[in-house]
Structures are given as structure tokens and as C-alpha cells.
Structure 1
């Protein structure tokens, strides 16, 4: 069996859909109803593909001692770029839509930013703490840099900077290096008031000051830490902004929901996966944009995206995305040990990935119920307090 074979990936996906249903039922969790249910379902599949994609990277890392990204597979290299682009498009669509709607409903900037912080930082901070504990285990709890450097490098992670901590080269691999995408997400959130200016959306002075500061900060972070294909990656956000103008049009949604559009989406996905000359090529961008526009306008991809297990998976997508690297590192480096993990044949590697998927879904469902959901629910209360402090309505 090839380490890049799609068959074990499909089987693990089916296992994940079954397991998330079982765990959610045990925890009495139901998928939350959203205005864009297809997008909610899409999130879960994107997160699981990233999980499986990183399993391939781990296989070659164990064999060659190098983190080879993209992997030596045209299909997975292109699909990986498409998945990340679709993640960015989801963010752009959901939040740019608020600017489009500002003609009839004013943007509540305080609530928007507080809800984003509470949505991302609780789980992300826990993951960073766990990563630092792993760093301590790897270094046998010996301090290998000065206290000031240790504090600085640890704190940089809270700004989405993948710094090496305590002398551990490639610290970011402990969480599969996914932190770079958060820097782009925060850049987009900071850019929203600037985009609002173009559309005639007014913002309070303190929102402007904050937006300008953080926009400059994350431009600098990306420029220094994540320059590779940075402009092409950022371009993906524009693909998510397009459907914000017409996704609520009944006629457009009717056309986009037709089964023939689902067939066309499949063809476009195959075209991008097989024939894009390199990741983040124009063909990749246009194909990903077409697929996303269809989904944002209501296409359910033959009902798959609105299927209950899909929505349950989408509900825990952020935890899946941010936690899975830790699961791999602990499994391959701490539990199995690198020599044993390296000796695995592709079939054994995929079996290990399947076991990791069960652990991951369980942890992430618990994380959603006891960390993510309570923090998001607290955003209304915290927003009200912040507004009283700022003396705004």
C-alpha cells in the first residue's frame, strides 16, 4: 500500500463520521443550527483532510528526517492548498457578509472581535500550554535558554509566531505547523474595518486604532515568519468575499443547489487536484473559488454537507485543526518512539492514524462541549461589560 493512497484516507473518514456521531450522542451534543449549514459541514471535511494530509507528511518525516511539505504527490499537494484556501474563504465570507449587511444593520465591532477572541484563544492557549509541556519532556526539563528568551519565545506563540522554544529546533512540528494560518486569519480580521471604509461602513475611533495596529503587526509577522506564497495565500480571502454579495438571492441559491452543479463541482475539484501546475497556482485559486461560491450559495454536494454527522464534525472543526498535530507527535515520538514509528510500513502507519483519529475526535468533542461552547456563550456577557467600560452602545 502506498503512503499516499486515498483508500485508507477514505476508510478513516468513514470511521471518523461514525465515531463523532457516537461520541456526540454520549455527550448529548446536537449540531447547532446555522444560517449557512453547508459551510458548517464543509469545515469538518476540511479539518479531517488536513489531519490525514499531515499523516502523510509524518510518514515521510519519519522515513527521511525532513518535514516535506507539500508531499511527493501532485494530488495531495493541490488538495492541501485547496483545503487551506477554502478555510480562508469561509472566514472571508462569514465576516465580509457583515460589511455587506451593514447597509441595514450596523456592525457590532466590539462583539465581533470579542467573539473571535473567545472562539480561538481558549482552545489555542490550551494547545500552546500542552506543546510547552511536550517541549519540557523532550528536553528532560532542562533549561536550554535564558529565562528571558524562554519567556519571549513562549509568548510569541500567543501572537501566532512559531518560535523555537528552549532550544528545540522545529518546535512548530509538535502541532504540525498549523499556527501560520492563524496569523493570516488575524490579519483578515484586522483588515475588516479597512474594507468597511471602502464600502462606506463607519467604525469608532478605537476600532480604527486597534485595526491599524494589528493589521501592521500581522503584516510584519507574516513578512518575517511566513513569507512563502504569502500573497497567494492571502488572495484566497477574496474568493470568499465574492458570494457575500449574492448568496442570499433566492434565484442564485436555487441554481447553485441543483445536482448538476454538484457534478460540475466534482469535475472542477478533479481538474484542480490533477492538473494544477503547482500549489496556489491561478488554476487552484479559481477552482477553489468556484467550489466555494457554489457551497456558500447553498449547494450541499449531494446532501453530504448537511448530513448530521458532517455537521457534528464541522462543529468541532477548529479543535480538530489545532489539536491533531499534538496527537501525532505524542503517538509517534513519545508513545511509540521514533525508531518504532519509522519501522512502520504504510499499512501500519495508516492503522496508527486510524487509532489517532478516534482519540482526536473524542478529545475535540470534549473540548467543544467544555471549552469552546461555554466560551462562545460567554461572549454576549463579556461584550456587554466591554461596552460599559468603553461607554458605547
Structure 2
């Protein structure tokens, strides 16, 4: 069995779908009804693929001590780019749609940004705390850098900069380096008020002022910390904005939901995976955009995306995305140890990954129920309090 084989990944995915059903029943977590169920389902599969993608990278990292992304596989190199692009397209579609339909329902900018903070920071902060705990173990709880510098590095993490903490080179690998994508997400959120101007949607002056500050901040962060393929990654957001103009049109939804469209999506995905000239190429962008437009307009991929386990997986997708690196790191570095982990066969490596998947889904379901959801449900009350306090 190859470490880049798709078969064990498919089997682990099936195991995850079964396990999320059992764990959700146990914790009494039910899929929430959303306006875009296909997108909710898609989000879960993307997060699972990122987990499995990083499990592959770990296989080679254990043997070479070099974190090589993408892994030595054309299929996974292209699938990785497609997956991240789809994540960005989901964000762009959901929030650009608010601007497109602003005449029907006015954009509440204060609530929008509070909801984003409450959506991301509770889980992300918990992960950063766990990361610092791991750093403490690795450094035997000894301070290797001046305290002000340590505090500054922690502050950098809180604005999506993957700084090395306490002289641990490659600190970001503790969470599989996924923090870079949050910088692009925040960049898009900061750009929203200015994109609204293109549609005639106006925001209060203080929103433009704060958005401009954070737009400049994250442009700088991306320029200095994450410049690789930055323009190509940013382009993905435009692919998500396209269907916002027509996703609700009945005839478009009827065409998108047709079984022929589903077959075309699968064919386009295979072509993009096997024949893209390089990751984040314009060809990859076009193929990914076609797939996303169909899903945003209601395609369920033969019902898979709206299947109950898929929706359950979609609910915990953010926790899956942000926590999975920790589970892999703890497993391979602490539980097994590198000397043992690096000599395992690909089959054993996949079996270990399967075990990690059960722990990951359990932890993420708990995270969703006791951390994500309570903060999300607090959005209306916190928005009201902020507006009263600042008299907005």
C-alpha cells in the first residue's frame, strides 16, 4: 500500500462518517437547518481531506525531517489546491451574497464582524493555548527567549502569524501550518465593505476606517509571511462571488441539480486533479469555480452533500480544520515517538491515522457543542450590547 494511496483515505472517510453519526447521537448534536445545505456538506469533506492530506505529509516528514507541502503526488498536490480554493469560495459566496441581497435585507456590519470573531477565535484561541502547552513540553518549561519577545510571538499568533515560539523552529507544524489560511480569510472580511461599494451598498464610516486598517494589516501579513501563490489563492475568492448573483434563480438551480451536471462535476474534478499544469493555476481555478458554482446553486452530488452524516461533518468542519494538526503532532511525536513512528509501514501509518480520526471527530464534536455553538448563539446578544455601549 502506498502512503499516497486514495483507497485508505476513502476507507477512513467512511469510518469518519459512521463515527460522526454515533458521536453526534451520543452528544445529542443535530444538524442545523441552513439555507445552503450542499455547501455545509461540502465544508465537512474539505476539512477531512485536509486532515488526511497532512497525514500523508507526516509520513514523509517522519522519514526526512522536512515538511514538504505538497507531498510527492500530482493528485494530492492538485487536490490540496482545489480543496483550499473551495474553502475560500465558500467564504466569498456566503458573505458576498449578503451584499448582493442588501436591498432586501440590510447588512448589519457590526453583527457580521462580531459573528466572525465569535466563529473563529474561541476555537482558535484554545488551539493556540494547546500549542503553547506543547511548546512548553518540548522546551521542558524553560524560557529560551526574553519574556517580552515570547509575549510578542504569542500576539503574532493571535493575528494569524505563524511565529516560532520560545526558539522552537517550525512551531507552526504543531498545528500543521494551517494558520496561513486564516490570514486570507480575514483579508476577505476586511475587504467586504469596499466590495459593497461596487454594488452600491454603503457602510458607516467607522466600518470603512476599521476595515481599511485590518485590510492593510493582513495585506502586510500575507506579503511578508505567506507570499507563495498569494495572488492565485486570493483569486479563489472571486470564484465564490460569481454564483452570488444567480444562485437563487429557479432555472439555474434546476440546471445545477441535474444528474448530468453532477457527472460533469466529477469529470472536471478528475481532469483538474490529473492534468492541472501546476497547483493554483488558472486552469485549476476555472475547474474549481465550475464545481463550486454548481454546488452553490444547489447540486447535492447525488445527495451525498445533503446526507445527514455529511451535514454533521460540516458543522464541525472548522474545528476539524484547526485541531487536526494537534492530534497528528501529539500522536506521532509524543504517543508513538519519532523513532517508532518513522519505521512504520504505509499500512500501519494509515491504521494510526484511522485511530487519530476517531479521536479527532470526538474532540471536534465536543468542541462544536461546548465551544463553537455557545459563542455563535451569543452573537445577537453581544451585538446588541456593543451597539448600546458605543451608541451605534
TM over 0.5, yes or no? Answer: yes
Deviations 1:195-225, CA, capped at 9 Å, x for gaps:
0111111110110111000000000000000
Match of 1:116 in 2: 116
Deviations 1:118-156, CA, capped at 9 Å, x for gaps:
000000000000000000000111111000111101111
Match of 1:44 in 2: 44
Gaps of 5+ in 1: none
Matched, 1:137 2:155: no
**Map 1:78-157 → 2, pairs under 5 A:** 78-157=78-157
Match of 1:19 in 2: 19
Q: How far 1:104 sits from its partner (Å)?
A: 2.1
Matched, 1:360 2:357: no
State the SS of the aligned residue for 2:161. Answer: coil
Distance in 2 separating the partners of 1:307 and 1:106: 32
Q: How far 1:21 sits from its partner (Å)?
A: 0.2
Distance in 2 separating the partners of 1:48 and 1:70: 16
Distance in 2 separating the partners of 1:391 and 1:197: 24
TM-score by length of 2: 1.00
Match of 1:270 in 2: 270
Q: How far 1:103 sits from its partner (Å)?
A: 1.9
**Map 1:141-220 → 2, pairs under 5 A:** 141-220=141-220
Q: How far 1:390 sits from its partner (Å)?
A: 2.2
Distance in 2 separating the partners of 1:154 and 1:102: 38
Q: How far 1:283 sits from its partner (Å)?
A: 1.1
Distance in 2 separating the partners of 1:33 and 1:261: 25
Distance in 2 separating the partners of 1:337 and 1:277: 38
State the SS of the aligned residue for 2:101. Answer: helix
Q: How far 1:32 sits from its partner (Å)?
A: 0.2
Deviations 1:222-273, CA, capped at 9 Å, x for gaps:
0000000000000000000000000000000000000110000000000000
Per mean C-alpha deviation after superposition, the further-off stretch among 96-105 and 355-364 is 96-105
Match of 2:28 in 1: 28
Q: How far 1:277 sits from its partner (Å)?
A: 1.1
Which 4+ runs in 1 deviate beyond 4 A?
Answer: none
TM-score by length of 1: 0.99
Deviations 1:8-61, CA, capped at 9 Å, x for gaps:
000000000000000000011110000000000000000000000000000000
Match of 1:5 in 2: 5
Distance in 1 separating the partners of 2:177 and 2:345: 24
Gaps of 5+ in 2: none
Distance in 2 separating the partners of 1:344 and 1:109: 51
Deviations 1:283-321, CA, capped at 9 Å, x for gaps:
110000000000000000000000000000000000000
Distance in 2 separating the partners of 1:287 and 1:390: 46
Match of 2:380 in 1: 380
Q: How far 1:389 sits from its partner (Å)?
A: 1.6
Distance in 1 separating the partners of 2:43 and 2:30: 16
Deviations 1:336-378, CA, capped at 9 Å, x for gaps:
1110010111001000000000000000000000000000000
Deviations 1:73-93, CA, capped at 9 Å, x for gaps:
000000000000000000000
Matched, 1:339 2:339: yes
Distance in 1 separating the partners of 2:390 and 2:190: 19
Match of 2:279 in 1: 279
**Map 1:305-324 → 2, pairs under 5 A:** 305-324=305-324
Distance in 1 separating the partners of 2:26 and 2:366: 11
State the SS of the aligned residue for 1:30. Answer: coil
Match of 1:246 in 2: 246
Distance in 2 separating the partners of 1:9 and 1:313: 16
Q: How far 1:105 sits from its partner (Å)?
A: 1.7
Q: How far 1:327 sits from its partner (Å)?
A: 0.1
State the SS of the aligned residue for 1:228. Answer: coil
Distance in 2 separating the partners of 1:344 and 1:146: 39
Distance in 1 separating the partners of 2:324 and 2:229: 24
Distance in 2 separating the partners of 1:266 and 1:58: 28
Distance in 1 separating the partners of 2:253 and 2:210: 36
- The CA RMSD over aligned residues, in Å, is 0.5
Distance in 1 separating the partners of 2:154 and 2:345: 36
